[in-house]
Structure 1
Amino acid sequence: MNTGKQDTILKMNALGQARRPFAFLIDFDFKKPIVLEWEESQSQLLWQTPKHTNFKEQKPINQPFRWKVLPVYYGRYQKAFDLVQRHIHNGDSYLLNLTMPSGIETNLSLEDIFHQSHAPYKVMLNKKFVCFSPEIFVRIENDEISSYPMKGTIDATLENAASILMNDTKELAEHSTIVDLIRNDISMVADQVQVERFRYLDHIKSNRNELLQMSSKIIGKLQPHYRKNLGDLIAKLLPAGSICGAPKKKTVEIIKAAENYDRGYYSGVFGVFDGKNLDSCVLIRYLEQQNEKLIFKSGGGITFQSDCQSEYEELVKKVYVPLA
């Protein structure tokens, strides 16, 4: 059920305290949050995490897969990019995640794509959108909270791709900024916060290309009674730092002025609480049904070192489906 922000927080608190398993879906603006107990979630929300799922897998579809990307007009992206750069040079933001919608033409339905895609986290809401996310938001296990910000992408087929990405000064600055932001966020809800692992690479295969993506791991210690405040805890961490930027509040204001479209559930978060532990993801790699059209939303981090053409090309490269 859709509820308001405060009602959502209170419901998550109550379910957490009672140790009753539930799933939650929170949009970027926290205007259309959904909280469902596990037994009621299957009727409208299908999902999979590395440890849990609420649906039965379907057999592979034996048919050619057609996937045509209709990228956002470069001039629109450039106009938004230039506005972001002005704010960055004015000192209003030093990292901003700029996103845009691209059209998709395909012979598969959202439901087909949901069942045929492979990702650590998959979500489908009422056949309105599918998400196949590689990015963890936060995990909570044994009173420890961990976050894994993902920032930095390169074509994995390039020669020495890993070395190029790890030695790129712009990507290093961008990743370091997000790690610092997430570390500060986690410090609002936990003690003994530290970066346990700094800059490691994941290899992602898709229907269009292969990517290397850079992540880090940040951990902190929660108080033993944290379950009765699960809703408050998650709310304090939103929106996810990796898909807005820093400083967070001002950067979100700039995002809304520059993007000029509704992100909706894209770049929000999805998660499940199994009665003991919590796992969640950032809603990226996201395909949405809008009337008769399919829209894929994607983006990347902008700093003062960013090049408009390169950032536009990265946005387009991220428009993929992780099919086997």
Structure 2
Amino acid sequence: MPRPGTTRSRPGVARFGGRAARGAVECVDLYREPERLVGDGPWFVVVDFDDPARGGRARAWRFEERVDVSEPPDDGPAGWQGPSPDAWSSSLDRSAYEAAVREVRARVHEGDVYQANVCRVLSAPLDPPGSEPDAPALARRLASGNPAPHAGVLHVPAGTGVDPVWVVSASPELFVRLEGGVLTSGPIKGTSLDAAGLGAKDRAENVMITDLVRNDLQRVCIPGTVEVTDLLAVEEHPGLVHLVSRVAGRVLPDVLAAPDRWARLLGATFPPASVSGAPKSSALQIISALETAPRGPYCGAIGWVDGDEAELAVGIRTFWWSDGVLRFGTGAGITWGSEPAREWEETELKAHRLVGLASGRLDP
């Protein structure tokens, strides 16, 4: 309910990384109008992982009212009603996923790629199919049961006159942060139940992807300013641990001053290195050949841009909804040291807690 003395805002709610807003005003296509993000912020951003030629979109929404992030999000009419735990299906079953792992290992052996991230999309129908689920309610449930440093929600309902979107994320991974002219990234590579389970393969993979992030940042940063500020740090998250590194560099003045600076920054760094592979161009070709479902916002970029500041997460641990179907992506980085069964188990580990919370199988 609106506060006394106020009128109800237009539909739509957004909150990510210290910014919150409500009342969607407009949506812009970042591939066509990246200069729009220079002013009138904050803009809340979702960039699909998929190439535009395969239906991928890059969009930003502006809202009429900033909201204090400490203020609880508006309640929906019925709260979160998730799918049945047994309603989920996977775009790749176990045998198909393990076959994809073997194919990537063969491509590594041939010298085509060093690492490629192979993903699958879980999907489940939601009833009733004609109504939109309560995104803030799912976001609250995930925040209680799986708090994440880059969690958030973006929901603009259909029929508002503004391009609709429905994304709820519990991402632990920083894609890029722009602050004071410094661009920072925090790639994650290496996942296990505990620190003791992180092995040589995890550390080698993290170093490889950290180097790729360093190369990406060098494309838009002042020479000599890009540095690895933290390498192979162990971060604990609910139910698992990650290896996380940090890379930072000072952005070139002409890039910062350019009206299309976000086209340049995303052009240099997107898609995120940790969810594509190395070399990135070869990994993307392999991903396109092996994966059977579009990733959508999963593995893309989710967050906000506000003037000369921004914070975008990698869209992992992310749910998105459309056409009566709730989706969730999970994947693993494949190298020569990968074992197909263990990589499948890693995708199960990454999905277990979040899908359990969304399905009511786990209590928050």
Q: So what's the TM-score if we normalise by structure 1?
A: 0.81
**Alpha-carbon distance change, 282 to 52 in structure 1, aligned in 2, over 3 angstroms:** farther
Give the 4+ runs in structure 1 shifted more than 4 A: 51-55, 57-72, 104-110
CA distance in 2, matches of 1:227, 1:58: 40
CA distance in 1, matches of 2:46, 2:265: 15
Check conservation: 2:44, 2:303, Cα contact below 8 A: yes
Map of 2:212 onto structure 1: 181
Map of 1:221 onto structure 2: 250
Once the two structures are TM-superposed, the CA of residue 204 in structure 1 deviates from its matched residue by 1.3
Check conservation: 1:105, 1:294, Cα contact below 8 A: yes
User: Which secondary structure does the structure 2 equivalent of 1:39 belong to?
Assistant: strand
Supply the AA of the counterpart residue of 1:91: G
Once the two structures are TM-superposed, the CA of residue 90 in structure 1 deviates from its matched residue by 1.0
Map of 1:79 onto structure 2: 99
User: Which secondary structure does the structure 2 equivalent of 1:97 belong to?
Assistant: strand
Once the two structures are TM-superposed, the CA of residue 62 in structure 1 deviates from its matched residue by 10
Structure 2: runs of 5+ lacking an equivalent: 1-26, 157-164, 358-362
Is the aligned partner of 1:122 residue 2:131? Answer: no
Map of 2:117 onto structure 1: 97
Once the two structures are TM-superposed, the CA of residue 240 in structure 1 deviates from its matched residue by 0.7
Map of 2:6 onto structure 1: none
Cα RMSD of the aligned pairs, angstroms, is 3.1
Is the aligned partner of 1:170 residue 2:201? Answer: yes
Once the two structures are TM-superposed, the CA of residue 261 in structure 1 deviates from its matched residue by 1.6
Map of 2:9 onto structure 1: none
Q: Which one has a bigger Cα radius of gyration?
A: 2
CA distance in 2, matches of 1:64, 1:298: 18
**Alpha-carbon distance change, 109 to 185 in structure 1, aligned in 2, over 3 angstroms:** same
Once the two structures are TM-superposed, the CA of residue 58 in structure 1 deviates from its matched residue by 4.9
Structure 1: runs of 5+ lacking an equivalent: 43-47, 156-160
Map of 1:3 onto structure 2: 29
Once the two structures are TM-superposed, the CA of residue 36 in structure 1 deviates from its matched residue by 2.3
Render the CA deviation track for 1:78-117: whole Å, top value 9, x for unaligned. 2222222221111111110000022458899552312322
**Alpha-carbon distance change, 262 to 223 in structure 1, aligned in 2, over 3 angstroms:** same
In the alignment, which of 309, 313, 327 is matched to residue 295 of structure 1? 327
CA distance in 2, matches of 1:305, 1:64: 37
CA distance in 1, matches of 2:322, 2:61: 24
Is the aligned partner of 1:317 residue 2:349? Answer: yes
In the alignment, which of 198, 201, 209 is matched to residue 234 of structure 2? 201
Check conservation: 2:297, 2:320, Cα contact below 8 A: no
CA distance in 1, matches of 2:177, 2:73: 24
**Alpha-carbon distance change, 54 to 22 in structure 1, aligned in 2, over 3 angstroms:** farther
CA distance in 2, matches of 1:231, 1:294: 30
**Alpha-carbon distance change, 4 to 190 in structure 1, aligned in 2, over 3 angstroms:** closer
CA distance in 2, matches of 1:203, 1:8: 39
Once the two structures are TM-superposed, the CA of residue 55 in structure 1 deviates from its matched residue by 7.0
Is the aligned partner of 1:232 residue 2:264? Answer: yes
Check conservation: 1:197, 1:218, Cα contact below 8 A: yes
Map of 1:264 onto structure 2: 296
Identity %: 27
Once the two structures are TM-superposed, the CA of residue 19 in structure 1 deviates from its matched residue by 6.8
User: Which secondary structure does the structure 1 equivalent of 2:33 belong to?
Assistant: helix
CA distance in 1, matches of 2:62, 2:36: 10
CA distance in 2, matches of 1:146, 1:309: 34
Map of 1:158 onto structure 2: none
Supply the AA of the counterpart residue of 2:182: E
Number of equivalent positions: 300
